[in-house]
Amino acid sequence: MAGRRVLITGVANPFGARLADRLAADAAVERVVGVDTRPVDPELAERIDVVAADLRSAELPPLVRAAAVDTVVHNDIVQFPELGRPRAAIHDVNVIGTLQLLTVCGGLPTLRAIVVRGSAAIYGSEPAAPAFFTEEDADRFPLRTRFQRDIGELERLVGAFARRHPTVRCTVLRLQPVVGRDFDTPVNRLLRAPVVPTVLGYDPRVQVLDAEDAVGALRRAVLHPVRGPVNVAADGVVSLSRALRHARSPALPIAAPLWGPLVSAARRAVGQPALPDEIARYLRYGRGVDTTRMRGELRFEPEHSTLEALARATGFERPQADRRHQNARPDAPRR
Amino acid sequence: MTEDDWGFDADFVRTVSPLLDALYTRWWRVRADGVDHVPATGPALVVANQAGGQPWDAAMLATALRRHEVRRDDPPRFLAHGRAFELPWASTALRRLGGVPAAPGNAARLLAEGHVVMTFPEGGRGSGPGYARRYRLERLGHGGFVELALRSGAPIVPCALVAGGPGPVDRVLARVARLPRPPVPLPVLPAPARWRIAFGAPLHVAHHGPDAAEDRALVLELGEEVLARVQEKVYDSLVNREGAL
């Protein structure tokens, strides 16, 4: 497919900005249109077409039709309050925004593919879970938290759209928690906090995704769209204690009944938004996903393993870091 | 730290093995027969009855294999009740010892990777019945383990355990904690009765092909066959036990 025309929603958030940047530099992409209500980095805005519109407004459809895009990247999906996306608007942005966007997409004769930045949070974090969730396991457990219900609804909408429009390839990338130095994600904030509140007596298996790999997977899905959901995660599932040691983030174990009240009080005190419930469950029960589809169908290989991604996020990258750790006592003093 | 993607931690196993050895030789004075029936390579599904309560059953089976140097480089994994992974500390310890929640897909994946998987299909019913029926096996689930073996082509190794069973303290604790009793590990050691472990000859099911897993009649038949073999070994072991204490 030569001369691709790509529309990216939520282009002002770091995922959107990095993706737009990389696609604009790609010879196969003719045009990148970014949609956001928030201001876009001026340097980037020069290289792409920015449309300052809300997904939920009436002005969007004619603009999109005029751009004659063949691929839509739905990236305006919010897990916790961020700049320009207050708490009360999250559900609206995630679900109503998607609904409106898909309505617009339905009237686009040029459309070939839709790529959605979804989340592996749809599987939840469950004690009795499969050790590696496959794409078919999404409805195995009830959707327990607000964000889970949002992305569950979102995937249902995308699935319904895909059935009605068989010519459009619809992909939902289910990303494991993304960590990266310049990316403001819930897990990232946790890692960079002075101490990470863990749950006393629990040491779950965790798996993350490097931010650059997240952008790389989105790019890959734009250039080579596949159908259906695809898990995207770094290599390696590690225990939380090992992950935190590797990232040099000190852990503070708190007994489960006190965990919720203490953590929300501490975060209020420092002016941070409350931790999303699915992150609280992730810290207690963890999650691993199967990446067979990512490798086999999407043909994407992440560059950084889980441990590397964690070290990169906190700025403690060390070559052969793991070897050092094997000899270090777990309680050895940190630098 | 040598944990794998499943959370199995060989270093942790090495650290606790002196303790497990002490339980094995002194506390329960375990004798294990027929460990050679566990294949030296490739996947295998060890199907055992529930006798001492989890996680001790699985731990002693694994210790038996380790002490006989069977599968030294690839210790067995075991399926544990999902509720066990809700508990603090116990969940972590179970996982590091090779425990995996008994969720669909987990066992299949372990077998596909070529591991030995131990399963206790009696589940909660295992040591449920009264004292008089304590050596009579319960129905082995609904044959899920047979389907698993058929799909993966792994041989089924029947394994009989004769043990003291969870004590009265265990039952009271479980009632207080409102947990299904036998499959959930409690920090209470079963009584120091003499234990016997007997592995039987493997039942090869690969020739039926993976599609045979849909054949209910065959699944039930093989399930009964395995149950009979385990029950027979239990009775044999009882005769040869040289007294309970």
Q: Which fold has domain A4-179+209-233+289-302?
A: Rossmann fold (3.40.50)
Q: State the pLDDT confidence band at A327, using cuts at 50, 70 and 90.
A: very low
Contact A200 B102 (CB under 8 A): no
Distance between CA B48 and CA B119 in Å, rounded?
A: 6
Q: State the pLDDT confidence band at A333, using cuts at 50, 70 and 90.
A: very low
**pLDDT tens readout for residues A61-107:** 888 888 889 999 999 998 877 767 777 888 888 999 999 999 999 98
Choose the closest CB to A200 out of B9, B88, B91: B88
Query: pTM of the prediction?
Result: 0.88
Residue A23 has pLDDT above 90, yes or no: yes
Calculate mean pLDDT across residues A224-228: 94
Q: Between the CA of residue A301 and those of A297, B7, B163, what are the distances in Å?
A: 11, 23, 49
**pLDDT tens readout for residues B196-237:** 899 999 999 999 999 999 999 999 999 999 989 998 888 888
Choose the closest CB to A131 out of B6, B89, B91: B6
The larger pLDDT score, comparing residue A308 to residue A187, is at: A308
**pLDDT tens readout for residues A128-187:** 999 999 999 998 999 999 999 999 999 999 999 999 999 999 999 999 999 998 888 888
Choose the closest CB to A127 out of B3, B5, B82: B82
Distance between CA A32 and CA A11 in Å, rounded?
A: 10
What percentage of chain B reaches a pLDDT higher than 70? 79
Opening angle at CA B187, ends B181 and B189, nearest 5: 90
**pLDDT tens readout for residues A191-207:** 888 899 999 999 999 99
Report chain B's mean pLDDT, rounded to a whole number: 83
Encoded tokens for A136? 């078919």
ipTM over 0.90: no
The larger pLDDT score, comparing residue B64 to residue A189, is at: B64
Q: State the pLDDT confidence band at B238, using cuts at 50, 70 and 90.
A: confident
**What count of CB pairs under 8 Å joins A to B?**
66
pLDDT at A334: 41
The larger pLDDT score, comparing residue A258 to residue A334, is at: A258
Contact B100 A131 (CB under 8 A): yes
Choose the closest CB to A201 out of B89, B101, B104: B89
Residue B163 has pLDDT above 90, yes or no: no
- CB of A127 closer than 8 Å to CB of B85: yes
pLDDT at B245: 62
Residue A216 has pLDDT above 90, yes or no: yes
Distance between CA B144 and CA B161 in Å, rounded?
A: 20
Distance between CA B138 and CA A159 in Å, rounded?
A: 44
Domains contained in chain B, CATH given? 10-239 (3.40.1130.10)
H/E run at residue A249: none
For residue A306, the chain B residue with the least C-alpha distance is B5
Contact A130 B105 (CB under 8 A): yes
How far off is chain B from A226, nearest CA to CA, in Å? 24
Q: State the pLDDT confidence band at B11, using cuts at 50, 70 and 90.
A: very high
Residue A284 has pLDDT above 80, yes or no: yes
Q: Between the CA of residue B40 and those of B36, B67, B69, B116, what are the distances in Å?
A: 8, 14, 10, 10
- CB of B233 closer than 8 Å to CB of B239: no
Chain B residue set in contact with A, beta carbons under 8 Å: 1-3, 5-7, 9, 82-83, 85-89, 91-92, 95, 100-106, 109
pLDDT at A331: 44
Calculate mean pLDDT across residues A277-301: 95
